Amino acid sequence: MGSVQLRVVVAGPFAPEDVALIAEREPRLELVHETSLLPDPRSDWMARHERSPEEQARFEALVDTAEALLGVPDGSGRALARAVAANPRLRWVHTIPAGGGQQVRAAGLSAVELERVVFTTSAGVHAGPLSEFALLGVLAGLKQLPQLQADQRAHHWPPRRRPGALSDATVAVVGLGAIGRMTALRLAQLGARVIGVHRRPVDAAGVAEIRPVEELPAVLAEADAVVLALPGTELTRGMLGRTALDAARPGLIVVNVGRGTTLDEEALIEALQDGRVGFAALDVFAREPLDPASPLWDLPNVLISPHSATWSPHEPRRIAELFAENARRLLDGELMLNVVNTVEFY
């Protein structure tokens, strides 16, 4: 049980205690963790580490000894393509983001390379924090947070308003993966009626009904809020666009915790300006960082989060636990968790 069977090179910003947890959970791994060549573990997962040419050569040489990588080198598709091409022994890469399939897509790997290497993601690890942000967004819209803040800044005591109540609301959750399912459950536990929008039937606690994606405009016509929890694929690009927003109930609350490409930002801006959308809480954007010239920054009915709603102090530990479990499955010949679909890359 304890003999080394897989050489793992840590290519992401993990703290020594997280790597030690992996070693404890799965002792058959040889874990190589050169912290001097990696970003500070307190930094963002996508942070790049400035290396001298000599350090870069040493880092790449180390990566090329791996049978498995914990993290895509520098979060870069180009660096991943180089690593896969240079190392025929590489058999598994764990991408740190839940949407790590897009890093794999960016590498432009051949069919042979995609067949040789298994790619997995950290999907599910972020479901708790993201579902909390989704609740924040829906509640902020229902409780008229922008108006409350504006009145407070103006020292203005207005006539009594009539904010919405989650227990009276219908919320559409688009995408019933781990994030969407947890969001739906938490909304339902607080009394909302939840309609799931998904391309196939799934088990989702708290969801009153599941409708196909083709019916999204009809669903929005009866919804008070919509939460996007979709992966970024060609099939989901611009799914919430003009057609759906034109059909929406006036004052719709829009929350996006999936991928920025799933929402047509230009159409959303127009809808926010004319009242079809009453409030939007956005953690992700089509291009990041969000352009300083984007009207979204200045619209009073928008809450912007800089793609940080996934974060929790326990996130690295949970990713380490997931990696250790997948390592066990790989070595024991079992199906691995969160394997990337290398056709749609999610």
Contact 197/175 with Cβ under 8 angstroms? Answer: yes
**307 catalytically annotated:** yes
Residue with tokens 């619209």: 299
Catalytic residue among 115, 288, 314, 334: 288
Which of 229, 205, 206, 209 has the alpha carbon at shortest distance from 219?
A: 209
Q: How many CA atoms lie within 13 A of 180 on its CB side?
A: 26
Angle at 100 between CA 211 and CA 30, to 5 degrees: 135
Catalytic residue among 26, 186, 307, 315: 307
**330 dihedral zone (left: phi>0; alpha: psi -120 to 50; beta):** alpha
Catalytic residue among 259, 265, 276, 315: 259
Which residues are annotated as catalytic? 259, 288, 307
